[in-house]
A and B are shown apart, each in its own frame.
Chain A
Amino acid sequence: MPFSKNTESSVRVLVIEDNDDDRELLLRQLKKSGMAGHVKFITDGRKALDFLTVPSKTLTEELIAIFLDLKLPSLSGLDLLRRLRTDEKLQNVPVIVMTSSNDPKDMEECRKLKVTNYVNKPVSFTSFSKAVADVFHLPRQGEPPMSVEEV
């Protein structure tokens, strides 16, 4: 599995995706544009939760956004999202959901969990970078624009 060789402190975007093909294709484009170093791929909800809940001041401060696939083994995207929303440190991290089916029930659930944005699969470099850029422009209701100031 091709993981980014960067240290944890440099992770600015987390992509949680279990599909090898989707991961590979996105990574390819990120590599081409030199952004791969700041993106960490995680293949499963449980692993993502483990990674995020390890106490690390830098991670929460540096993390710009999480790209989340809803269909994940062991812990689904929505379950993970719920955990994040209950976590004091992580509840304000922007979450961008990667969809392919637009299941209205999932969409409704996502709205309740205050998903920041959505991108359609396949995620191209263009849609990826636009979504990341939008994080800084979209209003974040009632939340201190902490990450924006950091950047």
Chain B
Amino acid sequence: MTVDSDALRFSQTLRSAILLPLAVIFLTALLLLSLVLWLFHDMHWSYHSYRVLVDERDSQTRVCDSQDNMRGYLLTGDESFVRAFEADQNATNVQLDQLKQMVQDNPAQVSNAEDIIQAKDLWFDYAKTLVARRVERPIVNPQDIEMGKTLMDGVEAKYEKFNQTEIALQEERLRRVHQMQSIVTYGGGALLVLLSLSIAQVVRRQFMKLAGEYRRALTIIEDRAAALARSEADLEEQKEWFHVTLKSIGDGVIVADPEGRVVFMNEESERLTGWTSTDALLKPLPEVFKIVNEETRVPVENPVAKVFREKKVVGLANHTVLISRVGQEWPIEDSAAPIYDAKEKVLGVVLVFHNATEMRHTQRTLRAYSQNLEREVAERTTTLQQAVIELEAFSYTISHDLRSPLRAMQGFAQAVVEDYADKLDEQGKNYLLRIRNAAERLDRLIQDLLAYTRLSQEKAMLGPLDLDKIVREIIEHYPNLHLPAAQVEVVGTLPKIMGLEAALTQVLSNLLGNAAKFVAPGTEPRIKVWCEDHGEKVRLWIQDNGIGIAPRDFERIFQMFVQVNEPQRYGGTGMGLAIVRKAVQSIQGSVGVESEEGQGSKFWVELNRAT
């Protein structure tokens, strides 16, 4: 329920509590007033009857007076009696007209009044005749008196009737007045009592209601007040919580106002800067938070200024040292962030920093460790390189020493065959040839193995090489690669590539040698060499008309000691293509083959174009 509707209800209640009783009182007053008016009205008519009766009595008295005056004149002849008599007649005329007028509301009385007037006129007419006759005859006839008396009685009877009627009317009216008085007294009293009671009831009810509303309003106000108090308490608690949190936070926290002055410091920041919050309050930040570069000792830019300038969170450079009030130095790491209001205006800056001594120490240890590690690795690499060099030297020694006896075996076997042929039978010669061949084979095997081993060890820098020249020299150098042994065609001029001459020579001589070697018996080897552009790469093709290779063997032929084509016939060590692949890899190239059995082979070598 809102405050507005509460207020509306309240004023409504208040209105009905006052207006309703007022209306009732007004109506009751009206009723009472009308009752009183009725009373007054009745009283008025009662009084009216009274006045009618008085006037009627006055009139009757005057008529009686007129009889006296007439009698007086008749007796005395005194003219003053005549004048009095005439005055009486006039007055009576007027009085009776008035009386008739007064009872205008009552036709019966009007008729009675007219009866009186008629009777009175008869009287006065008779009386006047008597008066007039007195002048001629001063003696009164008793008959005339009797006549007069009868007429007067008639007048009085008419008066009496009027009087009786009016008295009855007056009584009736008085009765009504009394009745009305009772009504006013009791009815009004009862009405007033009823009114009072009902007003009291209404007022009571309205006031109860009002009191309810008031209580409700009061409750609401109390609730709101309580809520307000609660939220104030909450706010206070929150403030306290923040305060405690900031105070007890492990990092140093300093808050600066828009002028860059210190407005808050927590305990850690007090500890690190050596300033108390009280001392530092409203001091410019750089005075409290002195920072220099650890190595150069040059003051570092005040982060608060930087935040105001860049309006974003900024971090401190590495190797920053905080110098405390007493000159103690702390390696720190920090960040400063702007505090915005709702309109994005910077209200201040929060600076958070922490003691980085441990971290710096750890970093130094780590750096030392990694340097140490690097040194160890370098040492071990040197040792390894030394070992490799020694191994290489050893391999040459082995090569020399192993091959030497083989040469002797070959040479002496040959010598025996040549010098003592006549003393040996065919079997003997055959055995000697076999000794020589075996020695030759072993010699080649040793050479190939050493070539392969050396390729795996080489990590030489590649340089630009003239592929055309190298290919043509190889063809020139090996008798089996030119006529009459074979036809070798080099198409166009081969480009310059990146490589290593020894490795490349090994690759090309092996591939060309194979191309010339693996042909069907009686076939003249025909070899074609050309290059294809492959962007950054160059693909050298060596196509032969040899016996070909089954696709299933494409991968195997590049493995060590694999010979897929009749080793008895073609000889070899099974190392040639393994050496080729190794050598190609050592100069960052690749090698592959396309072939079908009986259709010749196309070997390719992809190399980097010379830059």
Contacts and interface: CB of A to CB of B under 8 A. Distances in A.
A101 B411 contact: no
Nearest to B414: A25
Contacts of A121: 403-404, 407
Given A100-B403, A100-B404, A121-B403, A21 B396 contact: no
Interface in B220-261: none
Contacts of A105: 393
B105 to A, nearest CB: 166
B385 to A, nearest CB: 14
Interface in B366-412: 393, 396-397, 399-400, 403-405, 407-408, 410-412
Contacts of A9: none
A122 B411 CA distance: 8
Interface string A1-45: 000000000000000000101100100100000000000000000
A103 interface: yes
B415 interface: yes
A71 interface: yes
Contact of A21 (B400, B412, B419, B450): B412
Given A28-B415, A122-B411, A21 B404 contact: yes
B410 A71 contact: no
A102 B397 CA distance: 10
Interface string A101-138: 11111100000000000000110000000000000000
A22 B403 CA distance: 11
A104 B393 CA distance: 10
A112 B419 CA distance: 41
Contacts of A71: 400
B403 A25 contact: no
Q: Size range of the interface on B? A: 10 to 19
A21 B407 contact: yes
A19 B412 CA distance: 14
Interface in A50-67: none
Contacts of A100: 399-400, 403-404, 407
B355 to A, nearest CB: 58
Contacts, number: 43
Given A28-B415, A103-B393, A22 B408 contact: yes
A71 B415 CA distance: 25
A19 to B, nearest CB: 6
Interface in B401-445: 403-405, 407-408, 410-412, 415, 419
A30 to B, nearest CB: 13
A118 B412 CA distance: 23
Nearest to B409: A21
Contacts of A102: 396
A104 B460 CA distance: 13
A100 B404 CA distance: 8
A19 B403 CA distance: 12
B432 to A, nearest CB: 15
Nearest to B406: A122
Given A100-B400, A101-B399, A21 B411 contact: yes
A119 to B, nearest CB: 13
Contacts of A103: 393, 396
Nearest to B399: A101
A122 B410 contact: yes
B468 to A, nearest CB: 24
B393 A22 contact: no
A22 B404 CA distance: 8
B379 to A, nearest CB: 24
Interface in A80-117: 100-106
B414 to A, nearest CB: 8
B396 A101 contact: yes
Contacts of B396: 101-103, 106
Nearest to B407: A122
A122 B403 CA distance: 9
A25 B415 contact: yes
A21 B404 CA distance: 8
A25 B411 contact: yes
A71 B396 CA distance: 11
A102 B410 CA distance: 20
B415 A101 contact: no
A76 B403 CA distance: 19
Contacts of B415: 25, 28
A106 B407 CA distance: 21
Contacts of B450: 101
Given A28-B415, A103-B393, A22 B400 contact: no
In this complex, the member of A71, A101, A105 whose beta carbon has the largest number of chain B beta carbons within 10 angstroms is: A101
Contacts of A122: 407, 410-411
B50 to A, nearest CB: 171
B411 A19 contact: no
A38 B40 CA distance: 190
A63 B410 CA distance: 30
A106 B400 CA distance: 13
A25 B397 CA distance: 22
A34 to B, nearest CB: 16
Nearest to B415: A28
Contacts of B408: 19, 21-22, 25
Nearest to A22: B407
Shortest Cβ-Cβ A-B pairs, 8 listed: A21-B408, A25-B411, A103-B396, A101-B399, A101-B396, A122-B407, A101-B400, A100-B403
26 contacts: A21-B404, A21-B405, A21-B408, A21-B412, A22-B404, A22-B408, A22-B411, A25-B408, A25-B412, A25-B415, A28-B415, A28-B419, A71-B400, A100-B400, A100-B404, A100-B407, A101-B400, A101-B403, A103-B396, A104-B502, A105-B393, A121-B403, A121-B404, A121-B407, A122-B410, A122-B411
Given A19-B404, A101-B400, A103-B396, 5 more contacts: A22-B404, A28-B415, A100-B400, A100-B404, A105-B393
